[in-house]
Structure 1
């Protein structure tokens, strides 16, 4: 081997030994302790290795076609070296290739031979590719693919190499060993970015895209790739449970940006959602969370987000607040009045009668008029009336239904449940991550608190003066789906979120509440991304019917471990396992034992952990 190449690559001579960099008596260097070079094999320390180069490829490939090699149950390093070919060079090569193919075709025709199907197909492909390169629709790349196989003994390496070659033959790949170039081949598979073998094949853009392990044959390529916008892009959801590839997904490239996560309690749905939130924040997406169990407050505090604790002292939400946007609408008062009808229905736990609706509507409009607010948008900056003002107007009428309605609403204005409505709004919903924590709300106010929170979020999402990508997360959505008015509101939000450049993520552990009603099924139907984690045996039949699961998928969801599940997008689906770094795990876990350990007196206990990333 050339001595200059040895120096440049840091390759050691035959059987030479060189200790690496040592720290605290431990060898942490990059160089191996020993290297024995053979004709077709290497012995790296106590490990045997053999390197192969891919020199033959099938005519057509699908997305993720390298997955059988990446998922092979053995120690294998696969490296892909890519060098772009300049456009003038690519055009000249294609011109010469087309000339050679055309010359061969004409020579065969002159001698009266039959057409060669392979030559005809190659000529047609070269012609199409030349036009695509000329039009700027594609580029050419010089690609080299190499793999190193490792084993503990020579016999084990022989058996493993035979199995790998058998898999490659089934993929129509031709593998050749790096004979007499074992060191160069091994170095080409190390994470050094060096292609020493230089056994290249020319790929176009589409063919090269299918090589990457980030594309999956289980998911459509249009969704698993980078979206048309500059940012954000795909989010890592986990690893493929049936292979070694990654499952990345771009909700913003789908027909709509909504998602649904269904799982039984303890299956990891909140953990998965927190990872999705964190990775969306990395890309500049604003996230707003409805958190009934106060599971997201640690995450918000860690990333500098805002926590709004409804039910806490001095925290109020006024359902009669009007949007104060510069482009205010003249019908804002009437729209807000209609929303107050929904609020009252949820507070009373029943639909209003026709007489009650008439009385309530008159009282709402009178309360706005009393505050000096009319249909003129310039008056919308004035202080809005409160629910207490509406109830007082109802009580001062001679209508029996209005008086009865006022009496039923009194606990929410001056009674035990008045803390949420007895004044103007005090919450601020600004920031890159806003968590509406509802745990401190009494059970009787959980549904209305969720409804008011969704309304506050929707007003921020639909503000035409502040357009940006937003993700709205509604955890434990079954609390809202129990109320007819709340279910209808959630449905309307699912239908219109896409038009406001937002996505709605619905998470629930009670599949029956979501799939047992027409509105709930409509929310699922309007979610382009559907995540199914471990399911309970009592709910699997309903889930299987709604998502058309096969018998194998049913069994998989019943036996899945925590964090395992299916991602469903139309007819495409893939099995996945959620993964996280050590730092993400600390923020995402809700295990009481782990939280207790995290609050231990030793502040440096977690700083010493090494992230797998």
Structure 2
């Protein structure tokens, strides 16, 4: 017996359209309804055609408009030499007559004379030098993501051309014809040639090439990837100040951009290539980004947090010998390592006691007395003979003894000593004591050293800043020792914004001095941050700008919002450059080396992908 169908079976199933598939296979819609622009899909486009040239053009005269979103099209049709010479000869006769005519005004005669000279020069190039002559149409396709962006970009292109006395205009009511002519479709518009073609000798046509100055290529160095034209980007950071590199004053680099844009990958690539070239590398790593790379190249990874594995004694005097800050001979008789280190300790303790001026002054006196008890006096010119140094426990005990003898002190001093006693008891017994209380157990002999501060992420900002400042001083001792070795040394400060506090600018001041002085010791500093605004806080803007602007090489990955605004203002980016940064394409950055700029696509070899990957990278892109 047949089964009765229920009401559900009688319903017709509706199949929803696959809109995503439809978008993929549908052709791009071209809209030419505007008389001076058009749209291809979601892109706004306009064509500019050169309508006027000056009498003489410099070499690479089209290189000024090599901007993101601008495509150059040169269409040249060779002229018959005999016909061209005849036409120019006739023009030369006509302009000569007008230049000497008494019926013309002075201005008209001057214009005719200039055109006569131009015609004579063209005739000389074609006849005497036997150069080929071309009827040339030079056009540009300008692309943007909005109508407003297109208008701004068109004005920028026209302005750059006008700087060379070249006039470019939109071909009104010929947009479609001009777009087809300027696109790689093999189409030549007879109408466009009739209206805009101008005679051009082969020398001028060759000099137009905007490609000769494309990209950044030092000839030798490290390969970082490709520019937008497919050119290889090669940089030698250690070549600066010499002939051909006068626009670079140091080997420093800053890397900026939002998280997830490719900063860490770029920095690891740079570190790996420098290590392979024999450069010693020291890294401050707040996020454990470099631990895997360090292990793969047999580097030394140091937990600079509160685990107790690494102790750096802040009372150890780092400056052990006189080192000149310039090419002059260091004066050992005037060198005072103890006095220098006392200045460092002022900053170190000020980071933890920012609001207690009296306590800091008393602490300076007690440290000086503690040093004197250990033979560290202000008249020493060298401390290299010492092997054991006073510790924070020694300083704690000394302050505690002063508290017990507080009867001879004023009420204010007793209160200050009591506060210092509590401070040092807490410091030496707590997590900070695991980092600082004891003899330094760090040696900096490996070619790759990574100071991990990841375990300090939950620590208060004063502790983090103090540890960061302490590590930079330890690294500075290594840089001074490296001066006469002839070897290069690269210092990397990743996520540097974590160590910055507007209330205590001393850490940023130290980084600024680091950036300015390191080149004299054969070193380079690479600073990376995703928070440019932290460097430009009004309280520390002077130091922050010096750090970000001092580097000869700037690498800007994707950014938006306030960070993008700061970057554009800091480096005076053009609209096209700002647009490239705002797109936030992963692995693509704006690269500035000296006065040269390009858009860089970072590339890695398969072997580098393997070395640079971390456990969180499942399938790193090449």
Q: Which TM-score band (shorter chain)?
A: 0.5 to 0.7
Aligned to 1:407: 422
Deviations 1:266-323 (A, max 9, x none): 1111111000111111221111111011110111111111111112333211112224
Deviation of the 1:487 alpha carbon: 1.0
Alignment partners' CA distance in 2, 1:544 and 1:379: 48
Aligned to 1:236: 223
Aligned to 1:443: 459
The one of 447, 457, 463 equivalent to 1:432 is 447
Alignment partners' CA distance in 2, 1:556 and 1:331: 51
1:66-145 matches, cutoff 5 A: none
SS of aligned partner of 2:477: helix
CA contact (8 A) 1:258 1:505 kept: yes
Aligned to 2:291: 297
Alignment partners' CA distance in 2, 1:319 and 1:423: 9
Q: Does 1:357 align with 2:376?
A: no
RMSD between aligned alpha carbons? 4.0
Aligned to 1:453: 471
Alignment partners' CA distance in 2, 1:339 and 1:315: 20
CA contact (8 A) 1:414 1:422 kept: no
Aligned to 1:370: 373
Alignment partners' CA distance in 2, 1:267 and 1:407: 46
Alignment partners' CA distance in 2, 1:495 and 1:540: 25
Question: How many corresponding residue pairs?
Answer: 414
Deviation of the 1:568 alpha carbon: 2.1
Q: Evaluate the alpha carbon distance shift between residue 170 and residue 416 of structure 1 in structure 2; reply closer, same or farther with a 3 A threshold.
A: farther
Q: Which moved more, 1:464-473 or 1:475-484?
A: 464-473
Deviation of the 1:262 alpha carbon: 0.8
CA contact (8 A) 1:317 1:426 kept: yes
Alignment partners' CA distance in 1, 2:256 and 2:447: 26
Q: Evaluate the alpha carbon distance shift between residue 352 and residue 498 of structure 1 in structure 2; reply closer, same or farther with a 3 A threshold.
A: farther
Deviation of the 1:590 alpha carbon: 4.7
Q: Does 1:552 align with 2:573?
A: no
Aligned to 1:271: 265
Aligned to 1:462: 480
Deviation of the 1:62 alpha carbon: 5.2
Q: Evaluate the alpha carbon distance shift between residue 120 and residue 301 of structure 1 in structure 2; reply closer, same or farther with a 3 A threshold.
A: farther
**Which is greater in Rg?**
2
Aligned to 2:529: 508
Q: Evaluate the alpha carbon distance shift between residue 521 and residue 326 of structure 1 in structure 2; reply closer, same or farther with a 3 A threshold.
A: closer
Aligned to 1:345: 350
Deviation of the 1:533 alpha carbon: 0.3
Q: Evaluate the alpha carbon distance shift between residue 336 and residue 60 of structure 1 in structure 2; reply closer, same or farther with a 3 A threshold.
A: same
Alignment partners' CA distance in 2, 1:366 and 1:255: 43
Aligned to 1:313: 308
CA contact (8 A) 2:251 2:524 kept: yes
Q: Evaluate the alpha carbon distance shift between residue 315 and residue 378 of structure 1 in structure 2; reply closer, same or farther with a 3 A threshold.
A: closer
Q: Does 1:225 align with 2:218?
A: yes
For structure 2, the residue ranges without an aligned partner over 5 or more in a row are: 1-56, 72-121, 131-182, 194-198, 240-247, 324-331, 407-412
Alignment partners' CA distance in 1, 2:391 and 2:573: 49
Alignment partners' CA distance in 2, 1:174 and 1:454: 55
Deviation of the 1:491 alpha carbon: 1.1
CA contact (8 A) 1:62 1:217 kept: no
Deviations 1:52-81 (A, max 9, x none): xxxxxxx9865999xx9xxxx9xxxxxxxx
SS of aligned partner of 1:217: coil
Alignment partners' CA distance in 1, 2:213 and 2:443: 42
Alignment partners' CA distance in 2, 1:475 and 1:570: 22
CA contact (8 A) 1:265 1:509 kept: yes
Aligned to 1:79: none
Aligned to 1:30: none
Deviation of the 1:325 alpha carbon: 4.8
Alignment partners' CA distance in 2, 1:511 and 1:321: 34
SS of aligned partner of 1:396: helix
Q: Evaluate the alpha carbon distance shift between residue 393 and residue 426 of structure 1 in structure 2; reply closer, same or farther with a 3 A threshold.
A: same
1:547-586 matches, cutoff 5 A: 547-586=571-610
Aligned to 2:235: 249
The one of 362, 385, 389 equivalent to 2:390 is 385
For structure 1, the residue ranges without an aligned partner over 5 or more in a row are: 1-58, 74-113, 123-158, 176-206, 227-232, 599-610
Aligned to 1:132: none
Alignment partners' CA distance in 2, 1:565 and 1:449: 32
- After TM superposition, the score normalised by the length of structure 2 is 0.59
Alignment partners' CA distance in 1, 2:607 and 2:567: 33
Alignment partners' CA distance in 2, 1:170 and 1:539: 46
Deviation of the 1:553 alpha carbon: 2.0
Alignment partners' CA distance in 2, 1:288 and 1:121: 60
Deviations 1:132-153 (A, max 9, x none): xxxxxxxxxxxxxxxxxxxxxx
SS of aligned partner of 2:429: coil
Q: Which moved more, 1:408-417 or 1:573-582?
A: 408-417
Alignment partners' CA distance in 1, 2:421 and 2:472: 25
Deviation of the 1:521 alpha carbon: 0.9
Alignment partners' CA distance in 2, 1:313 and 1:433: 21
